[in-house]
């Protein structure tokens, strides 16, 4: 049998016991939204701002799904069920100096950071112009190749540090993506160079139809960090305050030169993987209902109600305001000129080869001009 010295040689962090007992994710709110005895990590204004982004996402997701059914949006992935996870993390950042390196399920984080909603819509309408990122908006484009953005986030953070800045980088990805080699190579490098990067792993229970249990034998995703000499922490992803607190601490640590953190945000995807998916084929109805009752938006509203600063009127006002904001953006996107053949060629190179330029004009001639 393993002796005590042998056991303790394995793990030194108290949170990670060698006994493989399940770990309780860090949380501040009860399931019904009541804060624990400590101080709230977010002011009322901050929570209201966060709620706005969560509602905006709900409204947008519904609109986008409808657009997809009409054939006006391509395949689309909603954030449904993960609003607190994304927004709690996003609100810990400073858009002026920090960077977001997204996967594709982080709409509210990108919008808060300055990415125009109409560009996001254009992207899903299949117009390359949608990929346009305005100057001074510190985000990378959405990434379809899972986990490929993680090394880039590491390099970006490392580069910022090298140049003496104090900006940090957060990169979002899922439980599925964390099985890719890029995830492991990135954590490894980040640990070596102490890059100021937050690896935000949204464990939403599914990679399309692959449940979390089939993704890894590890007890948690967060403890993989130890293997790379990096700190890891598990948080209740449906608890806006907890997510915000944990992320803020990681951001502060990174800013101060303390290096990277792996945050595992335990949440649940209550919608489909994307508009082409039918989750009823593999999701257990009871499990889904259980998680729907822990809806993150309801939970934070309950918190606000418990503080006496939320009611039906405010709810309706917020809904209307979000709908109006989305409508304006959709209007712009829908009335943007359709992409011409030039969209195939523009921005591929800084200095295009002649052959490509010839192709561009051939295409323009054949397709009725730019």
Q: Which residues are part of the catalytic machinery?
A: 269, 273, 282
Residue with smaller CB distance to other proteins, 258 or 279: 279
Position 329 contacts other proteins (CB under 8 A) = no
Please report how close the Cβ of residue 336 comes to other proteins at its closest, in angstroms: 7
Q: Do the Cβ atoms of 271 and 78 come closer than 8 Å?
A: yes
Q: Which stretch binds other proteins (CB under 8 A): 19-27, 219-227, 243-251, 329-337?
A: 329-337
CA-based nearest residue to 74, from 147, 130, 149: 130
**How far is 220 from 262, CA to CA, in rounded Å?**
11
**How far is 294 from 30, CA to CA, in rounded Å?**
10
Q: Do the Cβ atoms of 18 and 10 come closer than 8 Å?
A: yes
Query: In terms of DSSP bridges, do strands 197-203 and 261-266 run parallel, antiparallel, or are they unpaired?
Result: parallel
Residue with smaller CB distance to other proteins, 135 or 308: 135
Position 64 contacts other proteins (CB under 8 A) = no
Among 72, 194, 212, 253, binds other proteins (CB under 8 A): 72
Position 156 contacts other proteins (CB under 8 A) = yes
Position 276 contacts other proteins (CB under 8 A) = yes
Among 247, 275, 302, 341, binds other proteins (CB under 8 A): 275
- Per-residue CA distances from 16 to 20, 55, 94 (Å): 8, 36, 31
Position 362 contacts other proteins (CB under 8 A) = yes
Position 42 contacts other proteins (CB under 8 A) = no
Position 285 contacts other proteins (CB under 8 A) = no
Position 148 contacts other proteins (CB under 8 A) = yes
Please report how close the Cβ of residue 348 comes to other proteins at its closest, in angstroms: 5
- φ/ψ of residue 262, rounded to 5: -105, 120
List the structure tokens of 218: 């590890």
List the structure tokens of 319: 């809904």
**Residues in contact with 154: Cβ distance below 8 Å, sequence separation at least 6, in sequence order:** 169, 171, 186, 189, 190, 193, 195, 197, 260
CA-based nearest residue to 74, from 65, 82, 87, 83: 65
Site for other proteins in 168-187 (CB under 8 A): 181-182, 185-186
Among 48, 49, 52, 132, binds other proteins (CB under 8 A): 132
Q: Which stretch binds other proteins (CB under 8 A): 21-29, 151-159, 230-238, 305-313?
A: 151-159
**How far is 152 from 362, CA to CA, in rounded Å?**
35
Please report how close the Cβ of residue 155 comes to other proteins at its closest, in angstroms: 2
Q: Which stretch binds other proteins (CB under 8 A): 37-45, 229-237, 283-291, 353-361?
A: 353-361
Among 79, 150, 233, 242, binds other proteins (CB under 8 A): 150
Q: Is 312 helix (H, G, I), strand (E, B) or coil?
A: helix
Strand blocks (E) in 45-175: 99-101, 169-174
List residues binding other proteins (CB under 8 A): 62-63, 66, 68-72, 75, 125, 128-129, 131-135, 140-141, 145, 148, 150-160, 162-163, 181-182, 185-186, 188-189, 192-193, 275-276, 278, 280-281, 331, 333-338, 346-351, 353-356, 358, 362, 365-368
């Amino acid at each position: 049998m393993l002796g005590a010295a042998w056991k303790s040689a394995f793990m030194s962090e108290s949170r990670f016991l060698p006994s493989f007992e399940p770990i309780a994710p860090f949380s501040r709110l009860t399931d019904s939204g009541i804060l624990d005895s400590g101080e709230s990590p977010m002011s009322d204004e901050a929570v209201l701002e966060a709620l706005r982004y969560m509602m905006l996402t709900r409204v947008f997701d519904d609109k986008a799904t409808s657009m997809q059914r009409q054939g006006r949006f391509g395949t689309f992935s909603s954030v449904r069920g993960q609003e607190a996870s994304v927004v709690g993390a996003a609100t810990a950042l400073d858009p002026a100096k920090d960077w977001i390196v997204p996967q594709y399920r982080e709409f509210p984080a990108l919008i808060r950071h300055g990415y125009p909603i109409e560009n996001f819509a254009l992207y899903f309408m299949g117009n390359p112009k949608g990929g346009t990122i305005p100057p001074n908006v510190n985000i990378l484009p959405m990434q379809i190749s899972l986990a490929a953005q993680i090394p880039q986030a590491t390099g970006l953070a490392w580069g910022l540090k090298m140049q003496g800045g104090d900006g940090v980088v957060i990169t979002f990805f899922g439980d599925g993506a964390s099985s890719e080699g890029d995830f492991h190579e990135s954590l490894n490098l980040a640990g070596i160079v102490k890059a100021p990067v937050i690896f935000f792993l949204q464990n939403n229970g599914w990679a399309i139809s692959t449940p979390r249990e089939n993704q890894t034998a590890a007890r948690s995703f967060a403890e993989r960090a130890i293997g790379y000499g990096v700190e890891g922490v598990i948080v209740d992803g449906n608890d806006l305050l907890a997510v915000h607190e944990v992320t803020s601490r990681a951001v502060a640590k990174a800013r101060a030169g303390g290096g990277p953190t792996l945050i595992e945000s335990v949440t649940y995807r209550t919608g489909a993987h994307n508009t082409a998916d039918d989750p009823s084929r593999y999701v257990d109805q009871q499990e889904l209902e259980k998680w729907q009752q822990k809806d993150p938006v309801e939970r934070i509203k309950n918190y606000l109600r418990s503080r006496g600063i939320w009611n039906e009127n405010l709810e309706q006002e917020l809904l209307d305001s979000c709908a109006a904001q989305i409508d304006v953006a959709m209007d712009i996107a829908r009335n943007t000129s359709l992409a011409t053949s030039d969209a195939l060629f523009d921005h591929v190179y800084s200095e295009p080869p002649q052959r490509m330029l010839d192709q561009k004009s051939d295409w323009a001639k054949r397709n009725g001009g730019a």
